[in-house]
Amino acid sequence: MQTFNVGDKECVALVRKLTPRECFRLMGVSDTDIDKIQDADVSVSAQYKLAGNSIVVDVLYHIFRKAFVNRGNDTRQMTIFDACAEQNEMEYTHGNPLRVVTLCSGYDSQCLALERLKADYPPFDYELIAWSEIEPAACKAHDALFPQWADRNLGDMTKIDWNNVPDFNLLFYSIPCTDISQSGKQAGFTEGSGTRSSIIWNVRDALMIKKPKYACLENVAAMVSQKFLPMFNLWQNEVMRLGYTNFAKLLNAKDYGVPQNRERIFLWSVLNEGKDVNYYFPQPIPLTKTLKDILEDEVDTRFYLNPGRVQEFVRDNIDKVTQYANDGIGEIEPMPNRLREWVENYEKKCITTDK
């Protein structure tokens, strides 16, 4: 039990932040792989950033499953004969592995998902031909997870000479969301604008020169918001001009086995070579996990929040919400009373006079 002194009273802490391990679990990373990252001497603050900037492994797993294993429409009932036929017809196997390149790789959730696919469908196999990452902590984590490919980092994706990169089948690019996210600068990703998010246009060279069969973009849902949809469509049209058929969909992590409401846009592109091509995004699956399944049994005291500061924070919000209510936003008028009630209950639960 963690306690803090608040004035002349002793408080029992009831509120804490998630640990880095819990954040990684919410991104679908296994405890074994979390151990590898933490054993690589990646700082706690860097671990939070890595988890927050990554892609949920479970979502990627199902996207790849629909591309490389179960290619049919999930809405049609698949028989055991269909499943056997698809495995027998699997294109990428030990003798002909899927050749992958990832950009803005992070610790490569993509490869973690492909590893899981490889374990679940033994005929399937892949190889990471190259990856691109410049953040030191991300590179350290990547090397810890995939030491066999430590020497394949191409560095800054805007400086890659694609003529010198071996051929590959799948290009996965996840550009910085700094200028797209609602919590970011919202400066956009117009070509030539110089924003961090505008490096998406450097992907064009990879598609034009290497012509991979598949390409996949992942980013925050705001990329297809009313503000940025015109820019997104410009990018889609550019990819189409290069010979690809696009399939776009918003997918939420909570629909693929992870107790997290995390919605992201995915653009799956297939080189069509003048032919009709299809791709079916995975259908949602029932959520059987809760946040309780993610939490650690024992947590260091440093992750608990001082009850006095929690109360101050909520009281500050009471003042702000009350101001909004006074400004005429009627639908939130009950909120100040609910917050006050929460503070009163919190104080009753956490404060004792015994020292």
Report DSSP state, residue 295: S
| CATH number of the domain residue 138 falls in | 3.40.50.150
Distance of CA 12 to the CA centre of its chain: 34
- 101 shares its domain with 210: yes
Instruction: Give the three-state DSSP class for 265.
Output: strand
Q: List C-alpha distances in Å: 90 to 68, 123, 214, 220, 243.
A: 7, 7, 16, 31, 24
The amino acid that residue 46 corresponds to is: A
Residue 195 inside a domain? The answer is: yes
Same domain, 340 and 212: no
Would you write out the chain's pLDDT as a tens digit for each of its 355 residues?
555 555 555 655 567 899 999 999 999 999 999 999 999 999 999 999 999 999 999 999 999 999 999 877 665 444 443 444 454 468 999 999 999 999 999 999 999 999 999 999 999 999 999 999 999 999 999 999 999 999 999 999 999 999 999 999 999 999 999 999 877 778 999 999 999 999 999 999 999 999 999 999 999 999 999 999 999 999 999 999 999 999 999 999 999 999 999 999 999 999 999 999 999 999 999 999 999 999 999 998 888 877 777 777 767 776 665 665 555 444 444 555 665 666 666 656 655 544 4
In a domain, 267, yes or no: yes
* CA distance between the termini of the chain: 14
Kindly state the tokens that stand for 92.
């990428």
Side chain identity at 17, as an amino acid letter? K
Is residue 343 in a domain? yes
DSSP H or E stretch at residue 214 = strand 214-220
In a domain, 242, yes or no: yes
**What is the per-residue pLDDT for 288?**
96
Q: Which of 244, 261, 294 is the last residue of a domain?
A: 294
Backbone angles phi, psi at 171, to 5 degrees: -110, 120
151 and 260 assigned to the same domain: yes
Q: Is residue 299 part of a domain?
A: no
Query: Going edge to edge, which strands form the sheet with 9-12?
Result: 3-6, 9-12, 351-352
Listed in sequence order, the residues at least 6 apart from 349 whose beta carbon sits closer than 8 Å to its beta carbon are 12, 14
For residue 40, being part of any structural domain is answered with yes
Whether residue 204 is found in the same domain as residue 318: no
Output the CA–CA distances (angstroms, integers) from residue 298 to 22, 25, 55, in the order listed. 12, 15, 26
Domain boundary among 248, 267, 294: 294
**Domains: count for the chain:** 2
- Alpha-carbon gap, residue 248 to 328, rounded angstroms: 39
The single residue of 11, 111, 177, 216 carrying the catalytic annotation is 177
Same domain, 341 and 257: no
Residues 12 and 25 in one domain: no
Residue 185 and residue 315 share a domain: no
Residue finishing a domain among 294, 326, 343: 294
301 lies in a domain? no
The rounded radius of gyration (Å) of the Cα atoms in the chain is: 24
* Same structural domain, 179 and 315: no
Range of the domain at 187: 20-294
Structure tokens at 340: 């006050």
The predicted pLDDT at position 329 comes to: 45
State how far the Cα of 224 lies from the Cα of 230, in Å rounded to an integer. Answer: 8
Active site residue 177: yes
Residues 324 and 283 in one domain: no
Q: For residue 300, tell me if it sits in a domain.
A: no
What 3-state DSSP class applies to 300?
Answer: coil
- Angle, vertex CA 46, rays to CA 266 and CA 289, nearest 5: 55
In this structure, are 8 and 25 located in the same domain?
no
Q: How far are the Cα atoms of 163, 211, 244, 269 from residue 273, in angstroms, in the given order?
A: 21, 10, 8, 12
pLDDT for residue 79: 41
Pairwise CA distance, residues 113 & 145, whole Å: 12
**Token duo for residue 149:** 């490919």
- Identify whether residues 11 and 61 lie together within a single domain: no
pLDDT on residue 312? 75
Tokens 């698809």, residue located: 86
The Cα 329–Cα 333 span in angstroms is 7
Residue listed under structure tokens 């939130």: 332
Spatial separation of the C-alpha atoms in residues 182 and 23, rounded to whole Å: 21
Asked if 322 and 230 sit in the same domain, the reply is: no
